[in-house]
Amino acid sequence: MIELKGLTKVYGKGGSAATALSGVNLNIEKGEIFGVIGHSGAGKSTLIRCINLLERPTKGEVWVDGTELTRLGKSQLQEHRRKIGMIFQHFNLLSSATVYDNIAFPLRLTHTPKAAVDRKVNELLALVGLTEHRGKYPAQLSGGQKQRVGIARALASDPDVLLCDEATSALDPQTTDSILRLLLDINKQFNLTIVLITHEMLVIQSICDRVAVIHGGGIVEQGRVTDVFLKP
Ligand code: ADP
Ligand code: ADP
């Protein structure tokens, strides 16, 4: 489903160049929940942003669903990006748009007919449990509700992959739990492949099938969660 080959990312040039990733190889299967864990500065964010080319790798290949993304032109890349949803630590919602309009945003970008937008948004509102809050603005929502909007928006274009960038790091433990349960639900219901990065072991242990440990821009260990984090 997702294959990263020799992924290398160097920020800056010359004396100030910083290598964030060096030669990362990863293989993520369709329908699995794959976690990447590491300390701050390890390269997690760079890694996940390279999967949809929000960050352009310096070297290496990014394969998603049989297509190598780094070789695509702008319009082809845009087409493929629709199949890759993303959610963020700080939700990245439009503050002047309602819950409904935030979720509808990606559909309107692609000129989806009004009736189809309405049908899809209502379906997603029900899925994430926000039907009653459709007319509210982000500032009127709790953190967990904001992330539910983020999840609904990410699912609007029926992606094959959901990228989660520290998606629960701004939430309290109880809310984290409910968001993780929602992600697990969505994974099972749609056979959606989920890639998440986190610095929290608990997140990995609650929902991931496999995990990679990243350190200093390289994968130092990977495998099934139960094998990598075997209790002593
Ligand atoms: P993590 O998400 O694990 O905290 P990052 O991918 O954000 O790690 O960062 C990896 C390394 O790359 C760090 O040393 C960081 O300082 C550096 N880095 C990240 N983004 C940039 C950038 N835009 N410009 C320069 N260096 C960066
Ligand atoms: P830092 O100084 O950045 O905190 P450390 O060397 O203390 O880094 O390592 C911190 C963590 O990084 C370890 O607890 C482990 O999770 C991970 N790590 C580092 N090197 C390895 C390794 N060779 N194999 C597995 N995990 C590693």
Look at residue 96 and tell me whether its pLDDT is greater than 90: yes
Look at residue 29 and tell me whether its pLDDT is greater than 90: yes
Q: Which atom of ligand 1 is nearest to the CA of 42?
A: 3
Beta bridge partners of 5: 61
Tens-place pLDDT, residues 214-230: 999 999 999 999 998 87
| % of the chain at pLDDT higher than 70 | 99
**Ligand 1 centroid to residue 99 C-alpha, Å:** 31
Q: What is the rounded average pLDDT for all residues in the chain?
A: 96
Helix or strand run (H / E) with residue 7: strand 2-11
Average pLDDT over residues 137-158: 98
State whether residue 18 is helix, strand or coil.
Answer: strand
Ligand 1 pocket member 223 (CB < 6 A): no
Long-range pairs, 93-97, Cβ under 8 A, ≥24 = 93/138, 93/146, 93/149, 93/150, 93/153, 94/138, 95/137, 95/138, 95/139, 96/137, 97/137
Q: Look at residues 152, 46, 139, 64 and name the one whose alpha carbon lies nearest to residue 98.
A: 139
CA 203 to chain centre: 14
Look at residue 83 and tell me whether its pLDDT is greater than 80: yes
Q: Which atom of ligand 2 is nearest to the CA of 213?
A: 26
**Ligand 1 centroid to residue 20 C-alpha, Å:** 6
Average pLDDT over residues 21-31: 97
ipTM of the complex: 0.71
If pLDDT is split at 50, 70 and 90, which confidence band does 38 have?
A: very high
Tens-place pLDDT, residues 58-70: 999 999 999 999 9
Output the pLDDT for position 117. 98
Output the pLDDT for position 60. 98
Output the pLDDT for position 94. 98
Look at residue 231 and tell me whether its pLDDT is greater than 70: no
Average pLDDT over residues 95-123: 97
Look at residue 200 and tell me whether its pLDDT is greater than 60: yes
Output the pLDDT for position 232. 55
Tens-place pLDDT, residues 160-184: 999 999 999 999 999 999 999 999 9
Q: Which atom of ligand 1 is nearest to the CA of 197?
A: 2
Ligand 2 pocket member 223 (CB < 6 A): no
If pLDDT is split at 50, 70 and 90, which confidence band does 15 have?
A: confident
Output the pLDDT for position 14. 87
